[in-house]
Amino acid sequence: MRATLVALIPFIVAATAAVGPSPSEGNDSKPSVSELQDKYPDSDIACCKNTEEIKGDGILGNLLAKGALNNLLGVGDSACAKTSLIENLNILGFTEKGSEGVSCTGTPAYCPHGEEMRGRDAAGSRTAIFVYDKIEVTDVAMLYDAQIFPKLDGDSKDAAWNPPLGAKSIRQVCETQEKPEQLLSKMLAATLHGWDVVVAAELEKWKVPGLAVSVVHNGDSWSKAYGVAELPDKPLTTDSLFMACSTTKAFTAAATALVIQDTKSSEAPLKWDTPVSSVIRDDFVLADPHATANTTFEDALSHRTGLPDHFPRIQLAKPRENIRDAVRTLRHLPLAYAPRTTWDYNNHMFITISYALEQKTGEELGLFLKRRIWEPLGMRDTYFNVQQVKKTPGLKDRLVRGYEWVKEQGRHLSQPDINYAPIEGTGAIVSTVLEYEKWIKALLTRSTPMTQEGHDAVFHPRTILSQPVTTIHNNLDCTHLYALGWFVENYQGQQFFWHTGGWPGTSILVGLIPSKNFGFVMMSNTNLGGTFLHKTLYQDLIHRVLGLPIPPPNVKYPQKPKDQETSAEAVRRLFKSVSPDHPPVPLALPLDAFQGTYTHPAYGSLTFKLVEGGNLLHADCTAEENHVLPTSVDLSHVSASFFLADLCESGWRSAYYAAEFHVAASGKPDKLGIGLEPALGEGEYIWFERV
């Protein structure tokens, strides 16, 4: 839980009293913590030991080495911690489990309070009692100042105890007025001291206006926001709203697990291997009948259906297209692989699963997520449609503005928000780092509404990636896997689950290392630079908190954004037959003969007109009410019937594709092919028919 400013009654130790026999005398075993809690019900039980013996893991190991825990656990050569704190941390070597239960590995102590504390206060004899094997010590002369215990007559074991526990350590742990989670929060904040300098440098390096981050470790959390939510000077906060983009996919997988759980005893139970076509038979049709009949929910959620990304289809789509129509366009998109043979990231399949779940449950996916996941986890500031957020008073002013850095212009260019109704389970969530912190905590503790079986299924790897596909992959020299809505890696010997989310002007990264009870979320308001920012920062974060070394750069993959490809470079890449030795072949028809409207049943329509003095064919798809991403499509002649297609997205970055016109027997152009999906292979086009 997040730390709160609630104080406990202070616990105080002082010096006086006498030596008496221990109730455990005659018993060689140490008393268990539960025995001490029963014996001293009005006290806090603490465990004390030499600092050099503390088995600090990750954050605590770093903090102990730096002395950052002196005010929390003690000073000098020794440290004490209340058992409530130890149980919360669950990683210190202060306790051990034996046949009689959990006991202190060092010296157990109790800090009296309540009725016992008040009675001692009234008598002017405020005392802490320490139990060490067979001796119960109430005489700790000069406790505040002494760094050793006095020699106890007849107890050579205690006399040989070297170095002894520092009295100041015991006094400090008893006097603390903070709850365990408050101490934990201070520990996490202490280990991230100095991180601000790193973040500031990286924000400037990658030209990212703002970053919000939350870190979870052993149940504790820490969050902070840097930079601006909107240029020039609107501050970013930890409750600023970001489009969470593809990190929505993890929630869609979780929703599927819940529906599987809900329908287990029904007449038509949903299973991971249920064919999608059996739920939405008339609507789900792929280009291949075998793929249609055999593509399962598991296939769709793990990107192994054989359907490649076809992202320009979303880019050029109508914003208000309904989700059923979006699913029905899949029959017009060519497959690139046989089913279950190749991983290829695909947003369309998560749209399809969103629609299938809605048909199965009779409830909109956003409402289902709110009722079954967000509300149970206390995620009351999470939403499912950025366009609705923009219309809602109290929310629209918290929405972050997205930007991309245009190097050639030396400025940030504002980017449009997602405006595509069917986006749903592939990228519709709008949320904050504080909200995602709750999601991360629930995943780490397996306390989501999913059953344990459902949780295992979602995180179980389903397919292998043939090669790295994102910036986050670049330095991870391991086999790359994908589960259901989660990438799975080996990070320095630890299983690492993560997922990115991206849109022009937005970059999100969520990561989990369950074995270390560690997770984080980063949200920034630029995409291209944001992905490299997140890669640098998450590795530095893991190093600081868990002590894991930062992987060395992998020179095989880019360590910074690629410069914008020029049109000349694109021609050389796409048209290898065109060279100084093979001059271009002139067009057989005048360029104006190729003007007109060309349409595709999935990609929509492109209307080309001559511009730039009649030397360029231009299609204007920049009207936001007509297209998801404002895009212009320019066709420049290369050779014979071949053209270079330039899809310029949101006025700042071009993507180049090969294009070719087909001329009918009548001598008129009747088709335009553009290589909008490179996975189909060289020379394979999406064909638009001339109207």
Instruction: Name which residue leads in pLDDT, 162 or 541.
Output: 541
Half-sphere exposure of 571 (CA within 13 A, CB side): 16
What would the two tokens of residue 409 be?
Answer: 């212009």
**pLDDT tens, 404-439?**
999 888 999 999 999 999 999 999 999 999 999 999
Instruction: Name which residue leads in pLDDT, 463 or 75.
Output: 463
What would the two tokens of residue 425 be?
Answer: 């389970």
User: Quick one: CA torsion of 320, 321, 322, 325, rounded to 10 degrees?
Assistant: 180
Instruction: Name which residue leads in pLDDT, 358 or 160.
Output: 358
**Average pLDDT value over all residues in the chain:** 82
For residues 198-215, average pLDDT? 96
Q: Residue 2 phi/psi, 5° resolution? A: -75, 140
Instruction: Name which residue leads in pLDDT, 601 or 653.
Output: 601
Dist CA 423 CA 320 (whole Å): 11
For residue 31, is the peptide bond before it cis, meaning its omega torsion is within 30 degrees of 0? no
CA torsion through residues 152, 153, 155, 156, sign: positive
* Residue 183 pLDDT class (50, 70, 90 cuts): low
Please give the full DSSP string across 60-85, using - where no structure is assigned: HHHHHHHTTTHHHH-STTEEEEEHHH
Q: Any residues with CB less than 8 A from the CB of 102 and at least 6 apart, and which?
A: 32, 33, 34, 83, 95, 96
Tell me the domains of the chain and their CATH numbers: 29-113 (no CATH), 195-546 (3.40.710.10), 566-690 (2.40.128.600)
Dist CA 594 CA 584 (whole Å): 18
CA torsion through residues 270, 276, 282, 284, sign: positive
What letter does residue 262 receive in the DSSP assignment?
Answer: H
What would the two tokens of residue 476 be?
Answer: 């991870």
Q: Is 423 within 8 Å of 313 (Cβ atoms)?
A: no
User: Quick one: CA torsion of 144, 145, 151, 155, rounded to 10 degrees?
Assistant: 40
> Would you report the helix, strand and coil content of the chain in percent, each value rounded to 5?
30, 25, 45
Taking residue 47's Cβ as centre, other Cβ atoms within 10 Å add up to 27
Task: Name the residue type at position 247.
Answer: T
**pLDDT tens, 477-530?**
788 999 999 999 999 999 999 999 999 999 999 999 999 999 999 999 999 999
What would the two tokens of residue 358 be?
Answer: 């809605």
Task: Name the residue type at position 438.
Answer: K
Strands (E), 1-133: 20-21, 43-50, 78-82, 95-98, 101-104, 107-112, 129-132
**pLDDT tens, 378-406?**
999 999 999 999 999 999 999 999 999 99
Dist CA 363 CA 253 (whole Å): 16
**pLDDT tens, 655-691?**
999 999 999 999 999 999 999 999 999 999 999 999 9
* Residue 31 pLDDT class (50, 70, 90 cuts): confident
What would the two tokens of residue 232 be?
Answer: 């020039």
Task: Name the residue type at position 125.
Answer: S
What letter does residue 473 receive in the DSSP assignment?
Answer: G
* Residue 162 pLDDT class (50, 70, 90 cuts): very low
User: What integer pLDDT is reported at residue 595 of this predicted model?
Assistant: 97
Dist CA 661 CA 665 (whole Å): 13
* Residue 157 pLDDT class (50, 70, 90 cuts): very low
User: What integer pLDDT is reported at residue 96 of this predicted model?
Assistant: 79
For residues 281-288, average pLDDT? 97
User: What integer pLDDT is reported at residue 373 of this predicted model?
Assistant: 98
Check whether 639 has a pLDDT greater than 60.
yes
Dist CA 216 CA 438 (whole Å): 9
| Local structure of 108: helix, strand or coil | strand
Q: Is 112 within 8 Å of 205 (Cβ atoms)?
A: no
Q: Is 318 within 8 Å of 365 (Cβ atoms)?
A: no
